[in-house]
Amino acid sequence: MGYRKYFREILNTRLPQPQTLTSEIEKQFQLLYPAVEFSKTSRNPMDRRLEIAAYFLATIIELEKRGESYDSIRNILLEIAQAYVRPKNTLHRTFKKLPAYLITTRLGKFLIRQMEKRVGQNAHPNGFSVKVLTDPEETLGFGYGIDIVECGICKLFARFRMEKYTSLLCEVDYITSSLAGLTLKRSGTIALGASKCDFRFQRNN
């Protein structure tokens, strides 16, 4: 629930009558929440991101009701996302970059195997299914990559006929990858019509 404050902070600086807007977003979120409630107890950890995705969707719906343009909604959402994922202190910044350096270690390989067991299963029809890749030839030599073959966020946005906004959340992946000290290389996303979202990485110098 801590993510809400970042929505409030950005909306307070960007739009008139932010308190009324925040209240309407909260009401809209409560209407959307039953569609993602399963994520709290899902065996697939990727499904956990569906709650905040639903809050983004609630925000999009209310901004659209206010007559905000697509570009305006995009800018507001990315500003919120950047505020949310931005490291809060030096320790937090270091922690975000740690996984990139663990990939090739024995511990890192063990953690990847454990993650693969959990994210590879489609634990709920409205959730995610992910294929984890460790072959250097398939991962630009990095030794780790993922293919999202079923996207819970795409399913959520499609359910409420808001597909045109789904790709906005795809853009956040570039932000989080950069904070991890990585460059994301991706040839396509499900949101934009590809059969999968291919995440390949290169470590920043």
* Bridge partners, residue 184, by sequence: 201
Q: Would you state the structure tokens that stand for residue 191, as one six-digit string?
A: 């949101």
Q: State pLDDT tens for residues 173-189.
A: 999 999 988 999 999 99
3-state secondary structure of 201: strand
What secondary structure does DSSP assign to 65-76, as a single string?
A: HTT--HHHHHHH
Query: Smallest Cα–Cα separation from 170: which of 17, 2, 56, 8?
Result: 56
Residue 58 — very low, low, confident or very high, per pLDDT cuts 50/70/90? very high
Q: How far is CA 165 from the centre of its chain?
A: 13
Residue 1 — very low, low, confident or very high, per pLDDT cuts 50/70/90? low
The Cα 197–Cα 191 span in angstroms is 8
Contact yes or no for 151/190 (Cβ under 8 A)? yes
| Domain residue extents for the chain | 4-203
Mean pLDDT of 24-30: 97
Q: Which residue has the higher pLDDT, 149 or 89?
A: 149
Q: Above 80 in pLDDT, residue 16?
A: yes
Q: State pLDDT tens for residues 90-144.
A: 888 888 888 888 887 888 888 888 888 778 778 899 999 999 998 889 998 888 8
